[in-house]
Structure 1
Amino acid sequence: MRHKALLTALAAAIALTACTVGQQQPTSQTGGTAKKEISFLVFETPNLTPQVWDAAIKRVTDKYPDITVKKLVSPTEDRVSYAKQLLASGQFPDVMVAVSPAGFAESGAMAAFTPEELKDFVAPGNGAVNGKVYQLPANTQTIPVVYYNKDLFAKAGIAAPPKTYAELLDAAAKLKAKGITPFVIGGGKDPFASTLLWTATLATDLYAKTPDWMAKRRAGTVKFSDPDFVKAAAKFADLAAKGYIDKKDISRDYAATEQAFLDGKGAMYPMGNWFAAAGDDPKRKPDWEIGAFNWPGDDGATVVPAFTGGGLSVSATAKHLPEAKKFALAYTLDKTNLDDSVHNDGLYPAIKGYTPPSDTGTVFKLGYDLYQQGLRDGKIVQAFGWEAGDDGLLPGVVDKWRAGAQDLITGGKTVEQVTAALDDEWSKAS
């Protein structure tokens, strides 16, 4: 009975969150065939509104009038879990955006893209699962950039962004002494918003030293309970223990977290470069200046944690598989869609020959310049918790990692307990 109830609830959810973009056309009098409908799973944020998705979809259906699109909206930012629910209920979307292929690809649920289909991408092999690419490597995201409130820094007597980890701790202490929350975080229904500081410490203390650490973890030669991973986790937990993170903020969802920073409720906001869309939005831009810096290491060395991927995937069992792939590629490579992804979501399209529009905002340029400098210096590393395919965590482990982040913030579990739980979850997933 519980299984039947779940299916009924899922069907109701889909009915509430689905709409068709492009009107169904009758068969033409000249012998043409009816349109082929595909379903497309998206997610909404303050930047990615229903209007943004509808316009992007329409650009493709205008180009390919044989395709009509049924838009499905994930009820939360966690579209991976929602996609899993839809797969279990036999309602897996034909096309989906930003759904990690981990687990789906291995089970045969997603269709692989061919080298010819990937010829226009800068990093065509990124996110591969057993050598095959199931998610278009459409854009690069730096995770996190540390955005900061220059007014609050000045109020606390901080003249410049910290260059070392010791200076970062000193800045946090000065902010706290002035009654200012040093770091803005979130969580709630969007648990990823609790993890960004941990991704940052893992970049400087794990990946900077061992860039192929995830490959070693898959080979079984390293563990989460090893010293480098534990050190990064301990740094993260220590920020909460010192009161530099407000523990109650893990109940705040992503949209509210973003708005809290824009409202001046904290000094530093570690977040993906997509925050630039909000920071540059004239309707939301604060009356104080936003700055940005890379998370510093102990010795002052910095790296830029980045992930290239995040694009569209296609169901292997889509009723109209050729059309689903055609839509996914056309949607991704459309110049206006690419420009809009920069404006609406602050992304760095990883498409050959693409250059961001000249009218990007100042906050976008802050993050983009940090990324370009990282490229020039050879300082790009993986963004832990965001990797995909063979470079990423095994299915299910990312959820345990996000839960562990919240446990470290609240003090509900020790570093040792959290890292041991990750090793246990890895063994189960293996």
Structure 2
Amino acid sequence: MSASRLYRAAIAAAGVAALLAGCSAGNPETPSGSDAAVTWPDPTASLSGVTLTYWTATQTATMADSVIKAFEEKTGAKINKVIIPDVYETNAPTKLATGAKPDLATWQPTGSELALLKPATGLQVLDGAPWLAQQTPAVQQLGLVDGKHYAAFVNVPSTLGIFYNKEAFAKAGITADPKNFQELLTDAGKIKATGTAPFFGAAGDQWPTQWWPQVLLAEQSKAGLWDKVNSNKEKFTDPTILDAITTFKKMNDDGLFNADNKTSKYTESGPALLSGKAAMVLQLTSFTSLLQSTADTATINSKIGWFPISKDGTTATVVPGGDNALVAMKTGDAKREAAARQFLEFWLQTGYADYIKQANAVSIEPSVESPATVPDVAKAASAALDGAAGSMQQNAAVNPDFYVNLANMVNGTMTPQQVASTTQAQFAQLAQALGVEGF
């Protein structure tokens, strides 16, 4: 799922969450019994006569097709795939609030997005799932709410880092990756002196703007920044976040982005990087797919490199997306709930090697090798998951329209202080709507 879809619907989703809040342990849709007592069926056991409903977004509509086909052939089950129209992050919760409920759904596996589903009463706990111990340790630490696993990761979570054009670096005399953000800015100055735009920004799509302050906050995130923000003990208007916003503003003022940054689009950033129009793009691991849409793996490997960056070092920032994981709903039908667990087992055990090969994706199970056709930059970005900092999307209780406010700043209609104060007000409004303590 494109990152542009992930952050648009926070206000609407918060309102829907209030409707979902009525779901409780006494709800007839909530099955009785302990989560710890669940069983994990044989992945290929017969499910003749069982139909499971699977919700997914437009942009992930075909992601599971090969798995679904194989699962149906092996088990006799029927998977009813329902494509929820855009924007998924708004329309799926709204549909849930009407009483509709799938057995399985693609979902952004962050704390704030999982919270909208009231996981304690609305989702199956996946602790003890046979595939969990087979996944990389970094992935095992994601998809948690109150220490319990509610998300089954099928794809590697995205990390934020710098994709760079090797020729542009060589032209500027840069022979080593920068070791902190100040070194990155120094290198950007060298690149600008050669006549090449150091960074491609794509502020016309708004959402890419948010990545710059977030990588500047990586060390603070690991030190508990978002816990403080979640408890209203620190604000966007306080120096830590405000300074990151101000640094991003100065980068724009210093002309470090493409001249058409205010109107340029994400889809233009891949070709701009490959052609050398711009030297660097700060983006998610999924940016690799954009590169692959216009270049083969050999070309990407020869032209493009990748490194993580943060304020004080090279800490990556993890941003799990809607194409990374599935959730299994509590429906009250024990047979279908078990079948949903069986489908996840089939995908992540029996069929995982075939899925990774078909998807041409990085494997999150060390025993399953990534295809040789996966670009090196995707492998490097995925390797940086180990020790990565949590993003706002991952660790904040709610997700305000930070990116919209930052785009307004790039376009000259907001100051850094206005971005911070507006974002803080939105954060507080969302937190209040979800009943977050301290707001």
Same fold (TM over 0.5): yes
Distance 2:281 2:152 in 1: 29
The DSSP-based 3-state class of the residue aligned with 2:132 is coil
Q: Give the equivalent residue in structure 2 for 1:3.
A: none
Are 1:304 and 1:381, in contact at CA under 8 Å, matched by a contact in 2? yes
| RMSD (Å), alpha carbons | 3.5
Quickly say closer, same or farther: Cα 1:195–1:318, change in 2 above 3 A.
farther
Q: Give the equivalent residue in structure 2 for 1:202.
A: 217
93-102 vs 415-424, greater mean Cα deviation: 93-102
- The answer as to 2:292 corresponding to 1:291 is no
Distance 1:249 1:153 in 2: 21
- The answer as to 2:394 corresponding to 1:394 is no
Q: Give the equivalent residue in structure 1 for 2:24.
A: none
- The answer as to 2:249 corresponding to 1:240 is no
What number of residue pairs does the alignment pair up?
371
Within the candidate set 158, 174, 186, 2:202 is matched to: 186
- Quick one: percent identity of the two aligned structures? 20
Deviation at 1:36, TM superposition (A): 0.9
TM-score, normalization: structure 2? 0.71
Deviation at 1:222, TM superposition (A): 2.0
Q: Give the equivalent residue in structure 1 for 2:381.
A: 367
- Higher RCO (C-alpha under 8 Å, 6+ residues apart): 2
Deviation at 1:147, TM superposition (A): 0.9
Deviation at 1:114, TM superposition (A): 3.7
Are 2:123 and 2:150, in contact at CA under 8 Å, matched by a contact in 1? yes
Q: Give the equivalent residue in structure 2 for 1:63.
A: 74
Q: Give the equivalent residue in structure 2 for 1:230.
A: 242
Alignment deviations for residues 177-204 of structure 1 (CA, whole Å, 9 cap, x no partner): 4332221233666x53332222211214
Pairing of 1:39-50 with structure 2 (within 5 A): 39-44=54-59, 50=62
Quickly say closer, same or farther: Cα 1:261–1:230, change in 2 above 3 A.
same
Q: What letter is aligned with 1:426?
A: F
Q: What letter is aligned with 2:330?
A: A
Q: What letter is aligned with 1:96?
A: A
Deviation at 1:278, TM superposition (A): 4.9
Deviation at 1:343, TM superposition (A): 2.2
Within the candidate set 63, 86, 92, 1:83 is matched to: 92
Q: Give the equivalent residue in structure 2 for 1:403.
A: 404
Within the candidate set 154, 157, 161, 2:177 is matched to: 161
Distance 1:337 1:237 in 2: 45
Distance 2:319 2:304 in 1: 23
Alignment deviations for residues 80-137 of structure 1 (CA, whole Å, 9 cap, x no partner): 2342343355555542224343442238784132423366244545332234433224
Q: Give the equivalent residue in structure 1 for 2:167.
A: 151
Are 1:38 and 1:95, in contact at CA under 8 Å, matched by a contact in 2? yes
The DSSP-based 3-state class of the residue aligned with 1:394 is coil
Alignment deviations for residues 331-381 of structure 1 (CA, whole Å, 9 cap, x no partner): 34432355248724xx451x4745434554333343345x27xx4xxx432
TM-score, normalization: structure 1? 0.73
In structure 2, stretches of 5+ residues that fail to align are 1-46, 432-439
Distance 2:141 2:389 in 1: 16
Alignment deviations for residues 279-326 of structure 1 (CA, whole Å, 9 cap, x no partner): 46784454761112221535xx32122356831013334874433343
Within the candidate set 392, 398, 419, 1:385 is matched to: 392
Are 1:141 and 1:272, in contact at CA under 8 Å, matched by a contact in 2? no
Distance 1:96 1:187 in 2: 31
Distance 1:366 1:148 in 2: 13
Pairing of 1:314-325 with structure 2 (within 5 A): 314-317=328-331, 320-325=336-341
Are 2:52 and 2:79, in contact at CA under 8 Å, matched by a contact in 1? yes
The DSSP-based 3-state class of the residue aligned with 2:176 is coil
Distance 2:116 2:406 in 1: 25
Quickly say closer, same or farther: Cα 1:60–1:266, change in 2 above 3 A.
farther
Within the candidate set 142, 149, 159, 1:133 is matched to: 149
Distance 2:265 2:95 in 1: 23
Pairing of 1:20-35 with structure 2 (within 5 A): 34-35=49-50
Pairing of 1:337-348 with structure 2 (within 5 A): 339-340=356-357, 343-344=360-361, 347-348=362-363
In structure 1, stretches of 5+ residues that fail to align are 1-31
Distance 1:110 1:249 in 2: 42
Are 1:110 and 1:134, in contact at CA under 8 Å, matched by a contact in 2? no
- The answer as to 2:99 corresponding to 1:96 is no
